[in-house]
Amino acid sequence: MVLSNQDIQKLIEENKIQINPAPNLEEQLGSASLDLRLGDEFAVFEHTKKAVIDTRNPESFNGMTRTIKIENDEPFVFHPGEFVLGVTMEEIFLPDDVAARIDGRSSLGRLGIVIHSTAGHIDPGFRGKIVLEMENIGMIPVLLYPKIRICQLVFESLMTPTTMPYYKKKNAKYVDAKHPQESKLEKE
């Protein structure tokens, strides 16, 4: 069941859904979603001489990015065709009976900005910042600023709490994420 604005606000006030820094609910709370803001770090893919990424060979896909940290309200210049990993400003803590889905915001989508390429599901028990798999599919560079509302979370209530929250999974590769991280496919 998708949670309404009232459900979301109640769970935040009861500290069952924890968000740090605390959101401005007047600005960030929608009818059935919560907007999250863009963080100040990006993992940018470098041009490489590698002819192919071999999903069975971690050496072929590790070390392909460099981290850019945006300072003093400077913009991140997001070029057409570019794929980068960003991160939300907010750190999220979900209880064992709430999952979430991340989606882009229509206003940015209309500029050609895609916020997640595949990983839209957030498991119950997730802890950390959400890594954004971003692409500019437009024709013009777009300036993105830290703290802009970049995506929205839609929360879903589970009928019963999961017995496998994300933070307890043996193979939880991205638990407690604080920065954009490259693929950890080799840990599967």
Give the per-residue pLDDT at 162.
Answer: 86
| Residues marked as catalytic | 133
Q: pLDDT per residue over 6-41, tens digit each?
A: 999 999 999 999 999 999 999 999 999 999 999 999
Closest CA to 134 of 37, 27, 43, 3: 43
Q: pLDDT per residue over 138-149, tens digit each?
A: 999 999 999 999
Give the per-residue pLDDT at 70.
Answer: 94
Q: Is residue 182 part of a domain?
A: no
Contacts of 22 (CB under 8 A, 6+ apart): 12
Q: Distance of CA 88 to CAs 14, 35, 136, 158, 170, Å?
A: 22, 10, 17, 24, 24
Enclosing domain of residue 124? 5-46+63-168
Give the per-residue pLDDT at 53.
Answer: 72
Cα–chain-centroid distance for residue 139? Answer: 24
Q: pLDDT per residue over 53-83, tens digit each?
A: 777 776 766 777 789 999 988 999 999 999 9
Closest CA to 167 of 92, 104, 70: 92
- Looking at residue 85, its amino acid is L
Q: Average pLDDT of 157-174?
A: 73
Q: Is residue 183 part of a domain?
A: no
Query: What 3 state SS string does the chain have?
Result: CECCHHHHHHHHHCCCCEEECCCCHHHHECCCCEEEEECCEEEEECCCCCCCCCCCCHHHCCCCEEEEECCCCCCEEECCCCEEEEEEEEEEECCCCEEEEEEECHHHHCCCEECCCCCCEECCCCEEEEEEEEEECCCCCEEECCCCEEEEEEEEECCCCCCCCHHHCCCCCCCCECCCCCCCHHHC
Residue 141, domain CATH: 2.70.40.10
Q: Is residue 93 part of a domain?
A: yes
Q: Is residue 175 part of a domain?
A: no
Other CB atoms within a 10 A radius of the CB of residue 95 amount to: 20
For residues 165 and 122, what is the distance between their CA atoms, to the nearest angstrom?
11
Q: Is residue 17 part of a domain?
A: yes
Task: Give how many domains the chain has, as a whole number.
Answer: 1
Give the per-residue pLDDT at 52.
Answer: 73
Q: Is residue 118 part of a domain?
A: yes
Cα–chain-centroid distance for residue 35? Answer: 11
Q: Is residue 12 part of a domain?
A: yes
